[in-house]
Chain A
Amino acid sequence: MLNLLIIGFIASALAPFIYKRTKNYFGWIAASFPLYMFISFFLKYNEIVSGNVIKEATNWIPSLGINFTFLLDGLSLTFVLIITLIGTAVFLYAGSYMKDYEQTGRFYLYIGVFMTSMMGLVLSDNMITLFVFWELTSISSYLLIGFNHHKESSRKSALQALLVTGGGGLALMAGLILLAQVSGSFEISALYDMHSTIVGSNLYPAIVIFVLLGAFTKSAQFPFHFWLPNAMEAPTPVSAYLHSATMVKAGIYLMARFNHAIGGTVIWQDTILVAGTITMFIAALLAFKQTDLKKLLAYSTLSVLGTLTMLLGIGSNLAIKAFFIFLVAHSLYKGTLFLVAGTLDHETGTRDVSILGGLRKFLPVTMIAALLASFSMMGIIPLVGFIGKETVYSSILEVENFRFFLLALAVISNAFVVMVTILVGIKPFFGNLLPTPKSPHEAPLKMLIGPLVLSVFGLLSGMFPNVFIQKLLDQTTISIIAEELGITVKLWHGFNFVLLLSFVTLALGISIYYFRKQIIQELDNISLTKFIKPSYWYERILNGTLSFAKLQTKVLQNGYLRYYIIFIILTTLGLAGYTLFRSPGIGSLVINLDITIYELIIALMIIASTILVITSDSRLKAIVALGVVGFAMGIIFILYSAPDLALTTFAIETLTVILFVLVLYKLPKYLKFSKPVVKIRDAIIAGSVGIFMTMIVLLVTAGEMQSELKKYFADASLPEGKGRNIVNVILVDFRAIDTLGEIAVLAVAAIGVYALLKLRLKEGDK
């Protein structure tokens, strides 16, 4: 599985290069990549449905228990198949849809990275690996939402999505680390036997809160739902893929995956149930007023995500079954409808449902896909959505408390979803032909195959549930609640109360659709206060942080280099000085005056040049004097037999002087000197730093240095590092990762210096 993921990342990285050469048929090439993944995993289907679980492990940081461990069971296989199947449709579709965009190659890079990370997310057994992939999906989603980066609304929405899901990601990481501390392992599969330990721990409520924060933000549950409708700024293939079928289900996946390790308690089930129900209901209501195809679909997606969360919250066997069927059904029909919405947008030039109509003659094939998906979404027999809705209702009927309240909410929400479906999937094709910005015509082949295949899958899995759904359902429920259900999926349950509910939903939905205009007029008179909108609070927090940052920058970084240095020095002095003052050895420091004549001479040289630096009236003189201080220090290093350090110091000092001279060349002569007050202030600061450093050195050298490390490095340098120069062996071998970090920082600093210099040059232009 690791190999497949590596292939995925490499293929994504190559996408822009291949795209350049094969623009016209790149859609087909791109689609072959998810298709290959789909087939690779589908070949494991028989093994998984027969009850096996495939595990794979590659070491990463074994000493910390962080490894690339992957697990393929019913739940992850379901997700992987959804991801790759819809991926195939979307990649092919985008080949045509994205043709007129700039940087389409980059688009494929992002979406390929996303798909691979999403697969990694659902396959990971190690929590840290899962987290890494989790964040990768957030980042690729950010890049994709902001793909039209020249539009401000795109950038804003992208940032919003990243901040919300990224913030949740941090909470998730905290939750996962706590979980690992309680259970002693980062492997999710190892948690299954530890349910009582985890639930009994003091940290359990914190774990639940953090993990759920991660899940709720990712899956856009109330009150974090607002980023998802805004994410519709992304190109439509992205909305179809990330923001309906896959990424937003990552939170749902997380809850399902952890359900049997940390679930089953009141706090877990009730939180999920309440959040899910609220999201389901509110999102359905919010969908009502929308007129944009994609926004309508986004709100209905939210409602479905709420429903899925609610089902996990109910947690009964039947609810898990409903969860699975609804998940599969939704991915199929919503993916299709988004692609259809994209096609309508592409072929007619508008996404406004109020001016779309009568297109059946122009887009017959798209219409077939749209109708199949719509019927599934509305829950009409014999599509898979029908089974989904039936099982949702019957699982709610099993709930003990508030059963009819929940049922009423679910029926109303679904009625609104029915209304959305009519608006999006049916209305554009029937009625009178309305004029559109572009003259409509059927979409190209690449944009037809995806929606058609997905919608036909929806039909087939509705008609033959035992072929398409049953086996994987059994295995998935084992993953979620650790027992087999023994419930069979059937299309037709006979005439019963649940079927009646389905009819009520449809009837209610259709009547809402017919009275929609009147109700909207009524609604316009009522205005809600902005304080109840979570997005209002998001804006407040974001703006507050920004203005705080501005204020802080004004005070701390006012553009005068001397203040920067003063702040840095004073902070260090304050923090380290405090610690130093409280250390026990501070009272008994003795100054050892047993020094050689060379040392004395060098010390005098340093002091003399320092005085010259301070008093000099020319910059050049000061710098040369500073150079003398540096070289004298280098000589001290030699006296104490640290040739490496001395060598580096000499080189650095030389270059520093050169740099200074180059800078000086451009500076004016000293124009004004500091005022006496300022001089005294600077003298006090400089003096305290000197005293502080002296104290530290004295304190450090006072005690006998008991370092195991020194001996270890001295002994290990030659046999293990193959070098006699311990310093260098430490730098490039034992502690090479530190060096790697340092050189990366250096590189960034160089870019920063360059940017600063060039910026100044530009200002000089004006």
Chain B
Amino acid sequence: MYSIILSTASRYLLPLMLIFSFFLLLRGHNEPGGGFVGGLVAAAAYALYLIANGVEEAKKLLKAEPIKLIAIGLLLAIVSAFISVINGQNFMTGVWANNELPVIGKVGTPLLFDLGVYFLVLGIVTKIIFSLAEEDK
């Protein structure tokens, strides 16, 4: 079912979709978006690539093992929750940096947490899609 149009298009769409997904993640705090939907969009990007070019290519492109992405996501979320504890505040209190960064905007533990959700969702969806698409060996 190889289609040259889809294959070529997916190559250009993938970076665009990834950027869009990251954009969704970053804007999530003020406008519609967030880590969850961002992760879904990123996963959809890889899913599109998979349909166009096959699972092996998609795996190569993702580089990281999806299960590691899941672990990284969980770890980021948990780390973000403990930063306030080190700061002497209650577990999961939001800690914000005073200055805004260009492009990213305000930086704080909720953003880190959202980043964790992003990676986790990306990992989970790609894990499931990759395992489904893998040929029975």
A binding-site residues for B, Cβ under 8 Å: 59, 643-644, 646-648, 651-652, 654-655, 658-659, 662-663, 666, 720-725, 727-729, 731-733, 736-737, 739-740, 743-744, 746-747, 749-751, 753-754, 757-758, 761, 764
Residues of A within 8 A of B8 (CB): none
Let me know if B31 and A725 touch, CB within 8 A.
yes
Residues of B within 8 A of A747 (CB): 70-71, 73-74, 120, 124
- The complex places the Cα of A732 from the Cα of B94 at a distance, in Å, of 9
Distance between A633 CB and nearest chain B CB, rounded to angstroms? 15
Given A736-B81, A739-B117, A659 and B44 contact (CB-CB distance below 8 Å): no
Closest residue of B by beta carbon distance from A642:
B32
Closest residue of A by beta carbon distance from B55:
A662
10 contacts between A and B (CB under 8 A): A647-B37, A651-B40, A655-B44, A659-B128, A666-B136, A737-B91, A746-B124, A747-B70, A747-B74, A754-B127
Distance between A634 CB and nearest chain B CB, rounded to angstroms? 12
Distance between A56 CB and nearest chain B CB, rounded to angstroms? 16
Let me know if A722 and B29 touch, CB within 8 A.
yes
Residues of chain B from 82 to 133 with CB closer than 8 A to chain A in the complex: 90-92, 94, 96, 106, 108, 110-111, 113-114, 116-117, 120-121, 123-125, 127-129, 131-133
Contact with A along B22-62 (1 / 0, CB 8 A): 00100011111111110011011001000100000000000
Does B78 reach chain A (CB closer than 8 Å)? yes
Let me know if B90 and A746 touch, CB within 8 A.
no
Given A652-B40, A743-B120, A754 and B128 contact (CB-CB distance below 8 Å): yes
Partner of A659, one of B32, B67, B132: B132
Distance between B70 CB and nearest chain A CB, rounded to angstroms? 5
Partner of B44, one of A651, A724, A737, A749: A651
Residues of B within 8 A of A744 (CB): 74
Let me know if B92 and A736 touch, CB within 8 A.
yes
Name the prevailing secondary structure of the A interface residues.
helix
Distance between B90 CB and nearest chain A CB, rounded to angstroms? 7
Let me know if A644 and B34 touch, CB within 8 A.
yes
Partner of A721, one of B24, B70, B110, B134: B110
Residue in B33, B131, B137 whose Cβ sees the most chain A Cβ within 10 Å = B131
- The complex places the Cα of A721 from the Cα of B32 at a distance, in Å, of 15
- The complex places the Cα of A739 from the Cα of B77 at a distance, in Å, of 9
Distance between B132 CB and nearest chain A CB, rounded to angstroms? 4
Let me know if B113 and A736 touch, CB within 8 A.
yes
Let me know if A725 and B128 touch, CB within 8 A.
no
Residues of B within 8 A of A720 (CB): 94
Let me know if B110 and A732 touch, CB within 8 A.
yes
Let me know if B37 and A725 touch, CB within 8 A.
no
- The complex places the Cα of A663 from the Cα of B96 at a distance, in Å, of 44
Let me know if A750 and B114 touch, CB within 8 A.
no
- The complex places the Cα of A646 from the Cα of B114 at a distance, in Å, of 19
Given A658-B129, A722-B94, A750-B123, A644 and B37 contact (CB-CB distance below 8 Å): yes
Residues of B within 8 A of A59 (CB): 90
- The complex places the Cα of A395 from the Cα of B125 at a distance, in Å, of 68
Residues of A within 8 A of B32 (CB): 643-644, 646-647, 725
- The complex places the Cα of A727 from the Cα of B121 at a distance, in Å, of 18
- The complex places the Cα of A663 from the Cα of B131 at a distance, in Å, of 10
Residues of B within 8 A of A746 (CB): 120-121, 124
Let me know if A732 and B117 touch, CB within 8 A.
yes
Let me know if A743 and B77 touch, CB within 8 A.
yes
Distance between A746 CB and nearest chain B CB, rounded to angstroms? 6
Let me know if B131 and A753 touch, CB within 8 A.
yes
Residues of B within 8 A of A648 (CB): 36-37, 40
Let me know if A731 and B125 touch, CB within 8 A.
no
Distance between B7 CB and nearest chain A CB, rounded to angstroms? 17
Let me know if B37 and A651 touch, CB within 8 A.
yes
Besides A648-B40, A651-B37, A757-B132, 16 other CB < 8 A contacts? A644-B37, A655-B43, A658-B51, A659-B129, A721-B110, A722-B110, A728-B28, A729-B29, A732-B110, A739-B77, A740-B77, A740-B78, A743-B116, A750-B67, A750-B127, A754-B128
- The complex places the Cα of A725 from the Cα of B105 at a distance, in Å, of 14
Residues of chain B from 1 to 32 with CB closer than 8 A to chain A in the complex: 24, 28-32
Let me know if B41 and A651 touch, CB within 8 A.
yes
Let me know if A736 and B110 touch, CB within 8 A.
yes
Let me know if A757 and B131 touch, CB within 8 A.
yes
Residues of A within 8 A of B123 (CB): 750
Let me know if B34 and A732 touch, CB within 8 A.
yes
Distance between A559 CB and nearest chain B CB, rounded to angstroms? 19
Distance between A304 CB and nearest chain B CB, rounded to angstroms? 42
Let me know if B110 and A644 touch, CB within 8 A.
no
- The complex places the Cα of A58 from the Cα of B15 at a distance, in Å, of 48
- The complex places the Cα of A290 from the Cα of B52 at a distance, in Å, of 71
Closest 7 CB pairs between A and B? A723-B29, A651-B40, A643-B32, A750-B124, A662-B132, A732-B110, A724-B30
Let me know if A725 and B92 touch, CB within 8 A.
no
Let me know if A644 and B124 touch, CB within 8 A.
no
- The complex places the Cα of A727 from the Cα of B117 at a distance, in Å, of 15
Closest residue of B by beta carbon distance from A649:
B37
Distance between A285 CB and nearest chain B CB, rounded to angstroms? 52
Partner of B132, one of A663, A724, A732, A739: A663
- The complex places the Cα of A655 from the Cα of B51 at a distance, in Å, of 12
- The complex places the Cα of A751 from the Cα of B90 at a distance, in Å, of 31
Let me know if A764 and B136 touch, CB within 8 A.
yes
- The complex places the Cα of A720 from the Cα of B124 at a distance, in Å, of 31
- The complex places the Cα of A750 from the Cα of B111 at a distance, in Å, of 24
Residues of A within 8 A of B29 (CB): 721-725, 728-729, 732
Residues of A within 8 A of B124 (CB): 746-747, 749-750
Let me know if A732 and B114 touch, CB within 8 A.
yes
Given A644-B34, A724-B30, A750-B70, A654 and B132 contact (CB-CB distance below 8 Å): no
Residue in A659, A732, A736, A750 whose Cβ sees the most chain B Cβ within 10 Å = A732
Residues of A within 8 A of B91 (CB): 737
Residues of B within 8 A of A721 (CB): 29, 94, 110
Residues of B within 8 A of A663 (CB): 132
Let me know if A722 and B28 touch, CB within 8 A.
no
Residues of A within 8 A of B106 (CB): 722
- The complex places the Cα of A363 from the Cα of B74 at a distance, in Å, of 53
Residues of B within 8 A of A750 (CB): 67, 70, 123-124, 127-128
Residues of A within 8 A of B90 (CB): 59
Let me know if A761 and B137 touch, CB within 8 A.
yes
- The complex places the Cα of A754 from the Cα of B129 at a distance, in Å, of 10
- The complex places the Cα of A728 from the Cα of B71 at a distance, in Å, of 22
- The complex places the Cα of A654 from the Cα of B42 at a distance, in Å, of 12
- The complex places the Cα of A583 from the Cα of B132 at a distance, in Å, of 45
Closest residue of A by beta carbon distance from B21:
A651
Residues of B within 8 A of A651 (CB): 37, 40-41, 44
Residues of A within 8 A of B120 (CB): 743, 746-747
Distance between A523 CB and nearest chain B CB, rounded to angstroms? 57
Partner of B33, one of A647, A736, A749, A753: A647
Residues of A within 8 A of B40 (CB): 648, 651-652, 655
Distance between B71 CB and nearest chain A CB, rounded to angstroms? 8
Residues of B within 8 A of A757 (CB): 131-132
Residues of A within 8 A of B28 (CB): 725, 728, 732
Closest residue of A by beta carbon distance from B74:
A747
